[in-house]
Amino acid sequence: MQSEDARKQARRKPTLRGQKRKATVADAHYSKLTHKMTATPQGKARSAQPKASASRRNAQRSTDPKAVTTYQTLTEDARKRVYGKRGARKRHSGNAAASLIGIAVVAAFIAGGVFFWNTRPVSVTLNGSEARLRIHSDLDAAFAKAGVETAAGNYVSVGGTLLKEGTGYQYGAVVDGTTLEQDELEQYRIKGGEAIEFTDGADRMEDYDVTYREVQPKLLFQGSTGAVSFVKQWGKAGRQEIRTGKQSHETADGAWADEVRDGIVVTKNITPEGGKKLVALTFADGPSAAYTEQCLDILAEHDAKATFFALSPNVADNPAIAQKIVASGNQICSHTNQHLQLTTLGPDELLSEITSAHDTIKEVSGVDTTIIRPPYGDFSQDCWLATKGAVCASITCTQDSADEDLPGADAIAQNALSNVQPGSIILLHDGGGERAQTVEALPRIIDGLENSGYTLVTVSELLDSDPEVPDAVVAGDARMPSSGAWPTEIGQSAIDVG
């Protein structure tokens, strides 16, 4: 018969100490946070696993996404049980409110600092006395602070007629030595450190209505002597206010909506920049079949350049020679159409004489030129007025060889070389009569100039050496721009710079 202890031992289930039993899917562990039995993801009972150290558990939580999610969920569930759902939300909203309050405090502090800086008192000098004003104050505040007496201006019409005495502007102001205009007085704000002197006020004009009138330019002249005249400035029409006073009903000229620009013609001798020894040989009255090509050949032999002022009928009669002038690197310009004295012509006839020659030269040679040599060197201010912008430069000469008089080759050469200086323009002829003496004198003239250190250039190259001549005139084809307006009268006070 078995003892009581033996019977208890028989009823006890056998176990294997020190060995791990095989876990099943049904194995679970008890969570102290959830108070539930949960299965592990791997189907192993947590209670059967050896306890990991705290650092190892933390490492697992930080690297295992599922573990992190589970831990956060469990922690949030525990917080809700302790504080309730509203408590959790309150904690987050409390943090946001605290942040907003902090931002508001900082913003208020900054705004206060900006306000203080923009309204701080600064020192100024008012009519010789030191004073303190808030920065950015206007001049009315400064005038009241200064306590000075000034005489107010008057209330006047658009034409300056007194309408009411003493009801104009109360004061004027000079700031650091600069007198302010009325609109500047109203806009000025105190900066600090400036010296302000208040003066008597200006007159105040009545209100007025505005219309406009077009004002045509005038033709002005600079200089009265010289071999070259050129357009320095093209004219342009302007628009000016016509003011009609609302109280006085007077009318008067007002401000310019578009400034009128007068045309300006300069007359002078060319002065090459830097004293360069440049001289221009020029021929007139050609081209001629007998002499022009001979002159071109001599120029080519000496590697020299010249300018041929051609009559348009001769250009039409000798097209190949006109084209050779251009092809050889020389310059062709106009000597008008019929070689008429321009100062004896009416405005319409003069303009036709000039423009018809331009058209022929362009058609035959391909050169669009607005540079002329007026016949007999006669081109007055009235002639300029009649051109209507069809001429950009008029060229005469500084040395006349007098070859038209047939004085002999030696005399022609001597006349041409007499008193030559940088910028000289020498007159010869390649047409209009017997020119064999000119052809004979030409090599002597070229040698004499080159031996004296001169370079022979075209008229355009000579103009280019003088900084006062505009680039468009140098090009030789300048015309009044489409936005311009040619003057219809000569200015009463023409400019004379000698």
Reading the block at residue 13, the tokens are: 């289930």
Confidence of residue 269 (pLDDT cuts 50, 70, 90): very high
Query: What pLDDT, on the 0 to 100 scale, is given for residue 4?
Result: 55
**Residue entry with tokens 């909506």:** 257
Query: Poorest-confidence range of 17-31, 149-163, 370-384, 436-450?
Result: 17-31
Average pLDDT of span 84-93: 55
Query: What pLDDT, on the 0 to 100 scale, is given for residue 72?
Result: 54
Contacts of 487 (CB under 8 A, 6+ apart): 216, 217, 218, 219, 235, 262, 263, 385
Confidence of residue 102 (pLDDT cuts 50, 70, 90): confident
- Three-state DSSP at 130 gives strand
Q: Given a cut of 70, is residue 467 above it in pLDDT?
A: yes
Query: Poorest-confidence range of 99-103, 293-297, 414-418?
Result: 99-103
Confidence of residue 3 (pLDDT cuts 50, 70, 90): low
Reading the block at residue 178, the tokens are: 């600069």
Cβ-based burial of 370 (10 A; exposed 0-12, middle 13-18, buried ≥19): buried
Confidence of residue 103 (pLDDT cuts 50, 70, 90): confident
Q: Distance between CA atoms of 91 and 236, rounded to whole angstroms?
A: 79
Q: Distance between CA atoms of 281 and 278, rounded to whole angstroms?
A: 10
Confidence of residue 426 (pLDDT cuts 50, 70, 90): very high
Confidence of residue 112 (pLDDT cuts 50, 70, 90): confident
Query: What pLDDT, on the 0 to 100 scale, is given for residue 29?
Result: 46
- Give the chain's end-to-end CA distance (angstroms, integer): 159
Contacts of 112 (CB under 8 A, 6+ apart): none
Query: What pLDDT, on the 0 to 100 scale, is given for residue 212?
Result: 97
Q: Given a cut of 80, is residue 71 above it in pLDDT?
A: no
Mean pLDDT of the chain: 86
Query: What pLDDT, on the 0 to 100 scale, is given for residue 79?
Result: 53
**Are the C-beta atoms of 221 and 202 separated by less than 8 Å?**
no
Q: Distance between CA atoms of 307 and 339, rounded to whole angstroms?
A: 18
The domain 268-475 having CATH identifier 3.20.20.370: the answer here is yes
Q: Residue ranges of the domains in the chain?
A: 58-118, 123-205, 208-265, 268-475
Sign, CA dihedral 103-104-105-110, equals positive
Confidence of residue 97 (pLDDT cuts 50, 70, 90): confident
Reading the block at residue 83, the tokens are: 């504080």
Q: How long, in residues, is the chain?
A: 498
Query: What pLDDT, on the 0 to 100 scale, is given for residue 413?
Result: 98
Higher pLDDT, 271 or 96: 271
Query: What pLDDT, on the 0 to 100 scale, is given for residue 86?
Result: 52
123 forms bridges with which residues in the sheet? 132
Query: What pLDDT, on the 0 to 100 scale, is given for residue 55?
Result: 47
pTM of full prediction above 0.85: no
**Are the C-beta atoms of 48 and 27 separated by less than 8 Å?**
yes
Higher pLDDT, 30 or 178: 178
Query: What pLDDT, on the 0 to 100 scale, is given for residue 111?
Result: 77
Query: What pLDDT, on the 0 to 100 scale, is given for residue 333?
Result: 98
Average pLDDT of span 298-307: 98
CB neighbours of residue 29 within 10 Å:
15
- Helix H or strand E segment including 162: strand 162-164
Query: What pLDDT, on the 0 to 100 scale, is given for residue 98?
Result: 79
Query: What pLDDT, on the 0 to 100 scale, is given for residue 494?
Result: 53
Q: Given a cut of 70, is residue 27 above it in pLDDT?
A: no
Q: Given a cut of 80, is residue 19 above it in pLDDT?
A: no
The CATH code that applies to domain 123-205 is 3.10.20.30
231-247 per-position pLDDT tens digit: 999 999 999 999 999 99
Higher pLDDT, 86 or 33: 86
Query: What pLDDT, on the 0 to 100 scale, is given for residue 401?
Result: 98
User: Do the domains 123-205 and 268-475 sit in the same CATH topology, yes or no?
Assistant: no
Confidence of residue 293 (pLDDT cuts 50, 70, 90): very high
